[in-house]
Every structure is written in structure tokens, then in C-alpha cells.
Amino acid sequence: MPKRFVKTAYICLLALFLTGCNGEVFYDDPVRPTPVATSGISGTVTGNPGKKDPDATKAPAVTTPDPGKKSAPYGILTRITHEAGTKLTPEEFISGYEGTVTVLTAFSEEDLLAVGASFAAAIDCDGREVTVIVDISDNAAPIFKGIQDIEINEGDTIAYKKGVSAYDNVDGEVSFSVDNSNVDTDKAGIYTVTYSATDRAGNTAEVTAKVTVNALRDQLQILIDDKADEVIRSVVTDNMTKREKAYAVFVWCHTNLTYKGEERDLTYDEAAYAGLFDHAGDCYVSYVLLDVLYRRMGFETMMVERVGGTSDHFWNYVNYGEGWYHCDCIKRRTGNKAFDDYWCFMQTDSQVEGYNKLRGDTMPNCYTYDKSAFPECDKFKIYDGNTHEFILDKEAPVINGAMDLFIARGETVAYKKNIRVTDNSGEDITVHVKNSGVNLNVVGIYPITYYAEDSSGNRSEVSVNLHVCEPSAELAYDIADTLLANITNDKMSQYDKAKAIYFWIAYHIAYVDAPTGTDPLLAAYDGLTKYKGDCYVYANVAQLLLTRAGIENIMIVKYPVYDEEHFWSIVNVGDGWYHFDSTPWWDGTQIFMWTESQLEKFSKRNDMSHAYDKSLYPEVVQ
């Protein structure tokens, strides 16, 4: 046999072996493609498989492979299985090939969903066109979305399918089932629930989720603790002392808790919830509310129950590091202001006993308790804000504002008007009046006595005179002189005296929009005895007091009168004339010793409230 013939046969056999070594398909028996549209998937990959060429262009529709085409190069698959419903990419044809592959055939969406069908795809391998068989199959299970672990309380129901869906790459959205057979929503524990979905090809997906059923009391305790911490954070700061922190929390409880019925059948946790979330309850709820908050702050606290009364009463016995004291944050509801304004915060035994006396027959023994069952609470001690210690209370209350009173015969008198009582204990102390010898219908001078006592037994008294007079100009002068003796002194400058007069008028006379006549002294008398009036009263009280104090002043009358009259003064305390108007304004403006330019600006902003004929008065400092 000629050597050339043998060499030729050997080359043919080698070529045949290299072409068909992958054992998948031979080009002499091709699969004929189903005709497809040209708007399918195409692309190019160069070098490393898996990186798609973004510059790929659409290839023409598939055609029947030509048996005469060149065989596939090494590393190119001649038959592939493609997952239905997904994009066909160049890298699917590569198994080791290191060149550039371009898919020439365009597949439609319908082609890629044709499970079980086979198509001929033309690809280009660096200039060599090769035909590859693409088999469409469905091997992917559905995919779940929205599955999450579930947490509920005992007795709650679960909507397992809410927000959950299953989607398949071929079938689209598919139905699914939930196996919750081992879940007991009435019993605390951790359970597993299984979601299952199967597509038409038989591919099944299963996903499990955890179901946590919390014991009801545990959950309630979590809510209580979290809410208590939230309240504490809202009112307490790190730079506060322990007492200041205790007071801030006490104020929150007293302010936010509304009295509501007798609810002593509540458990401790239920009462805590009622106080923290509903902000309503009886004295037991108020005790529990403060108890929960103080315990979260690390304070010692005990429940005190009243003995010897006709109804139950509960309050807190607290120690934040300075000894044991009484706290009761419940709102009073007696209708008596003296009783209802009482705040039982860090009170000593003597202080709560004082409240017992104050209530008298109305509610005897309000804070009577079995002292032998509790740590000792010191008597007659108050908190010293300077030393931050509790000290013996030996200071009596201070009575402010007491001075001789003047009234016309037959008029009534407001004895406690402008009287204020303060005490180092911080108690809200009531002032009392001894006036048994007064006869308002008989002219004369009557002694009256103001007295006040704190819960530690410290008492103070102030005696003044009540002057019952026949109405006259002298009466107004007497009232003015008595007032000036209480608010001014000989060491004060004229400016300081004017200032004292201004602010006494501003803070003690209430504005009422009612005519008061035209008599200046009568208007001043009304303002000084009835503590109310319009701008004419304010101006005449100012004129009377300024004149009696020796301060030069002139009353100004508004002109022109655009809508309503107005009266005020100009004063001279030694350095020129300035405007003086003690009538209160809606925005809180206080016109004391104003220059002309200041008043003009204010007047223009307020409909020419202070327009006047400047030619009639001395020039005011600009």
C-alpha cells in the first residue's frame, strides 16, 4: 500500500477522533431547529468564561446546520442542557475554550420556556461557526419570598401565608402549602413550620421558619420593663442627684396618672401596665407604678398600707440612699384645693402626720400605718440642697405680702389677696387669718393676724391692721402710702422706686375692659382695693403712687383716638422724661422707662396705640 495513502488515512482517523471525542453529537446527523423570532438572546464572551461581553449584538435566527461546517474547536460543547426560563449565555457553551465565543442564534422567550424541546444554535468561535444542540429542561424548584421567623404571645393567631409567595422560572407564581402541625399557639415554646411548593415539572422547594410562642407573663414583664426604662430616660439625666432623679420620676407619675375607680383586684403586673400604658388607676396602681420605676433605678421601696381607715390606701416607702421616706404620687380628688394640692414626696413621719391632721374628719388616718413593720422614718427632717443631707427642720414658714388693709365702710375685703407663704421644707402650706373682731360696717382700725404652720410644727405669725374708713380722697392716700412703705425704702433711688411701683401694678392688678368713670382718685382707689381695672385705672394708680413717692410724672391721653382711648404716663427720675405704661399688653411687652423712638416703633406695630399730641407735654428722651 502506498505510504501516501496510509498517511492520508491516519490524518482522517485522527481528525475524526478529535471531532467526536466528546461523544455527544456528530454534524452528519443534525437536529433541525424550530423556527424562532429574531428578538431573542445573544451575546459574546471573550477569554475567561462567565464574563459577558457588553458589546454583543443580536445574531440572526437559527438555521439548519451545514454538515460541511468545520468541527467544534477543543473546549466547546456540542450539546448543552439549558434551564428553562433563564437567559442563554455564551459561557454555557464553553468547557475549557480560551477564545472568544459569540452566540449567533436569537432565541425568543417562548423558545426558552419550551421544556423538552431541542434547538440548533449557531455560535462563532473566533471566526469558526459551529452548530450546537440546546436542550431546554426544567430542573429548578420554585423560590419563596417573604418567609420570616414568627414571634407571638400565648393565645395569638398566626397568618402563616401573609406576605409570602412562591415563584417558578417556568410556571410563574405557584401555590404552596404550610405544615404547622407541630405548632401549639397556646403553649410557650419554639416550634418549626415548613413551607412547600412544587412546579409542574415536579421540582419541589421546602423552607422552614421558626415560630416562638412567648409566655404571656414573660411578654408583659418585658413590656413593663422596656416602658419603665423609656419613662426614666425621658425625665432623668446623668448630672442629676439621686433625689433629683427621684423627684423627676415622681412628677412624671403624679402628672400622667389619672385616678380611675377601685381596681385592687389587679395583679402587680397588670397594675404596672395600667399605670405605664393606660395612665389610669387607683392608689394600688399608683403605688405599683412608682415601685416599678424606682426599682429600675436601683432604689429600695416597700408598700405601705393604711390601718384604721374605712377604705384601703397604699403608698410607697422609699430609700434612695438617704433613709426611708414616704412617697404617694396619686392625685387627690377631694375638691378641696388644700388637700388636693398636697404632694407626698419624700415626706417624713411628721409631715404625713400633719396631713392627717389637715384632713381631720374628712379622711382621718390617711397616712396612719403600722410603724413596727417598717424601717424607722426620722421625724422633723428636711432635705438640704446645699449639703445634700437631711437635717432637722427648725425654720418656720415665711409669710409674704402682709400689710395694712384699707377699705371703705360696708365693702368686703380679700384678706389673703397677695399673701404668699414659703417654707424651707418645700411644703405647700396654707395661711390662716384671725379676724374675729372685725366689723366691716363700722369705721375703725381692727387688728388681724396671719399665721402658718409647717408639718414639723414650726409656726409663724404676722399682725397688721384693717382700716375701715369713710370713702374719701384721704383713704386713697392712706392706701398708697401704706403700699409704698412696703415696696420702697429711703435708700432706693427714684429710678428704683419707679421700677418697684411699675412692677407692683403690673403684677397685682388684673386688666378688665370695663369703664370705671372719670374720677382719678376713685379709679386709683378701685385699682388699689379691687386689684382690677382698665388702662385708666392703671394710669391713675401709677400717678397716685408716683406722686406720693415724690417722682415727677404726667398722665398722657392718646390723641387722636382711632378706635379706643388709652392712658399712660411719662416720668422724670432726674435724667429726662421717659414713657411709663403699666397696662399689660397681649405680647407681654412692658413699657418701663422707654424712649420716644422705642414707643413710636411699638405704636406703629400696634395700630398707633400710643399716638399723642407731643406739643402738650415735655419732650421725651429720644
Q: What is the pLDDT at residue 249?
A: 95
pLDDT over threshold 50, residue 326: yes
Report the percent of the chain where pLDDT is more than 90: 48
The CATH number that domain 493-616 falls under is 3.10.620.30
pLDDT number for residue 123: 92
CA distance linking residue 460 with residue 398, whole number of Å: 7
- The per-residue b/e assignment along 426-445, b for 16 or more CB within 10 angstroms, e otherwise, is bbebbbeeeeeebebeeeee
What pLDDT score does 525 carry? Answer: 85
Instruction: Read off the pLDDT band of 26 (50, 70, 90).
Output: very low
d(CA 607, CA 595): 19
CB-CB contact of 413 with 440 (8 Å): yes
Domain 218-386 has CATH 3.40.50: no
Peptide linkage before 471 cis (omega within 30 of 0): no
Domains 143-214 and 398-471 share a fold: yes
What per-residue confidence (pLDDT) applies to 542?
95
Q: What is the pLDDT of residue 456?
A: 73
| The pLDDT value given to residue 357 | 66
pLDDT band at residue 30 using 50, 70 and 90 as cut-offs = very low
pLDDT digits (tens, 9 = 90+) for 601-610: 999 999 899 9
> What CATH architecture does domain 143-214 belong to?
Sandwich (2.60)
Q: How far apart are CA 322 and CA 388, in angstroms?
A: 9
Q: How confident is the model at residue 261 (pLDDT cuts 50, 70, 90)?
A: low
Q: Which region among 456-470, 508-522, 583-597 has the lowest average model confidence (pLDDT)?
A: 508-522
Predicted pLDDT of residue 59: 35
pLDDT at 148 over 90: yes
558 in Cβ contact with 612 (< 8 Å): yes
Residue 388 vs residue 193, higher pLDDT: 193
Least-confidence region, from 282-296, 400-414, 442-456, 539-553? 400-414
Mean pLDDT of 305-321: 83
> 33 with 122: CB under 8 angstroms?
no
| 101-105, 116-120, 356-360: least confidently modelled range | 356-360
**Reported confidence tier of residue 464, pLDDT bands at 50, 70, 90:** very high
The residue that leads in pLDDT, 358 or 247, is 247
62 pLDDT exceeds 50?
no
Q: What confidence score (pLDDT) does residue 46 get?
A: 34
- Mean pLDDT of all residues in 560-579: 91
- Please give the residue that has the higher pLDDT: either 365 or 580: 580
Give the containing element (helix H, strand E) for 452: strand 444-453
Q: Is the dihedral of CA 491, 493, 496, 500 positive or negative?
A: positive
Domain spans of the chain, in order of start = 27-137, 143-214, 218-386, 398-471, 493-616
Share of the chain above pLDDT 70, in %: 81
Residue 9 is predicted with a pLDDT of 44
Query: What CATH number matches the domain at 398-471, 3.40.50.800, 3.50.50.60, 2.40.70.10, 2.60.40.10?
Result: 2.60.40.10
HSE-CB for 140 with a 13 A CA cutoff: 20
Query: Which of the 8 DSSP states describes residue 311?
Result: S
Average pLDDT, integer, range 63-76: 62
DSSP result, 319-331: ESSS--EEEE-PP
Whole-number pLDDT of residue 42: 37
Q: Which of 17-21, 248-252, 355-359 has the highest mean pLDDT?
A: 248-252
Q: Is the pLDDT of residue 63 over 70?
A: no
Average pLDDT over residues 91-110: 90
Which pLDDT score is estimated for 428? 75
pLDDT tens-digit map of 465-474 = 998 887 777 7
pLDDT of residue 392: 65
HSE, CB side, 13 Å, CA atoms: give it for residue 108. 10
Q: How confident is the model at residue 359 (pLDDT cuts 50, 70, 90)?
A: low
Instruction: Provide CB contacts within 8 A for 219, sequence distance 6+.
Output: 153
Residue 523, pLDDT score: 87
* Nearest of 328, 317, 393, 397 to residue 363 by alpha carbon: 328
Give the pLDDT score at 219: 76
Please give the pLDDT value at position 83.
93
Looking at every residue in the chain, the average pLDDT score rounds to 82
The phi, psi pair for 304, rounded to 5°, reads -110, 135
